[in-house]
Structure 1
Amino acid sequence: MIQENQYFEGNVKSLGYATADGKSTIGIINPGEYEFGTAQKEIMHIIEGALSALLPDSEEWKIFNAGSRFEVAANSSFTVKVEAQTAYLCQYR
């Protein structure tokens, strides 16, 4: 089953699905700054575009371009800044 998700007044949209390895979402982030909370470990792959992320336990923003990824532990939060629409794949593990 495919699940539609919408966050931040429609500025972040994704489609969710499940595989044998767990749940994932693939989506688009519009320009802006957004804070996300995690319930599970998240592995965020940047497919197209770029974003800056302020990850837990860090005081510095780091840029992630297409082809890169980052991980965020369960029960934490992270903030992203996006200057142009950016596509991502997020795996929940």
Structure 2
Amino acid sequence: MSEFTHVTVTKAANIYFDGGVTSRTLIFPDGQRKTLGIMQPGEFEFGTQAAELMEILSGELDVQLPGAEGWRRIQGGESFEVPANAKFTVRVLSLTDYCCSFLS
């Protein structure tokens, strides 16, 4: 899906790591939440509360997921899931556009 319709967009940006990662929150009529964002090149550690599906729309990064040995390369058009209440690290190799869906 290349666009979302009938959503509420939160005007204030979510800004992390001194602007290295930014996003906007979308809220759907059924209460589902997603964020659309950009990650600048760098290494960032995130913590989750809800399980997440990270769809990489463009760009390239390496991700280290909880319990995984080593890093996994993710490119535009690919995705990965992160469990609830976990930490994961990304090494962003090029400007990366993403969509994060909160699964629980």
TM-score normalised according to structure 2 size:
0.85
Where has structure 1 moved over 3 Å in runs of 4 or more?
none
2:9 maps to 2
TM-score normalised according to structure 1 size:
0.95
In the TM superposition, what whole-angstrom CA distance separates every residue of 1:21-76 from its partner, at most 9, and x where no partner exists?
61100000001000000000000000001110000001210001111000001000
Larger gyration radius, structure 1 or structure 2: 2
Q: Larger % of strand: which?
A: 1
2:36 maps to 26
Higher relative contact order (CA 8 A, sep 6+): 1
Which structure 2 residue ranges, 5 or more long, are not aligned?
Answer: 1-7
2:24 maps to 15
Aligned length: 93
Alignment RMSD: 1.0
Give SS of 1:56's match.
coil
| Match status 1:83 vs 2:90 | no
1:69 maps to 79
Q: Share of identical aligned residues, percent?
A: 41
**1: CA distance, partners of 2:25 / 2:39:** 15
